[in-house]
Structures are given as C-alpha cells and as structure tokens.
Structure 1
C-alpha cells in the first residue's frame, strides 16, 4: 500500500465534517487491539479457608473426613 493510496473512500453522498469524523473514529476504535481484562481481586471474605489443592474427595466416609483437620 503506497502513501498516496487512501485507506477508505466515500462512494456515494456528500458527508459533513462531523460525519467523516465519526466514521474515522469508528474505524480507529474497531481496528485497535482489544485490551486484556483486568484481573478481579478476590477479597479475604470470599476466599476459602482451605488451600487450593484441598478438594473434597467423594466416597464412603467422605462426610466424616471433611470435618477432620488436614
């Protein structure tokens, strides 16, 4: 693509300066890469008291073992 070649062109109608500005703004926003979402901070209230690897195991006696210290 050469420097003289336009990025886009209006094929029909006579847009006003405001309409052209809105079109350029919409194209600029659309071509921008999406930002990564910010990590969500988890409060101490929402965190569990058990470590992440301590998942409950299903099976006979599991309900009894769930109350035992680890």
Structure 2
C-alpha cells in the first residue's frame, strides 16, 4: 500500500500538462459560474461601475458558496 502511494506521489507532470489540467477544470467551473451569476442578478440591481463589475466577477468565482447559501435560505 505504501509503495503504491509513493508511486502515485512520484508521478511527474510537465508545466504544459498542469496548464492543460487547469484549463480542463477551470473552463467548466467558470462557465457554470457565469450562467449562475447571470441568472441571479437581483443583488446587483443597485450597483454601478466598478462595484458592479467586481461584484459580478466575485459571484462568478464564488458560485458554489452562493449556491449553497441560496439553498439554505429557502
């Protein structure tokens, strides 16, 4: 068991492979965040300018937390 764990932990990846993994995981995460944030804009109605942009980007990045908070509030 310990040798199998060491074999997995010794596996090496190139920078390009790490970037590819990041893109494969990041694109769906951001796409779901964009859809979720676009359909839940009631908290953005009174904001303008930089505050609106930062709040919208923050809601894209933190959609899992906001989704969980939204479920718990209903």
TM-score by length of 1: 0.30
Which structure is richer in relative contact order (CA contacts within 8 A, separation 6 or more)? 2
**Larger helix proportion of the pair:** 2
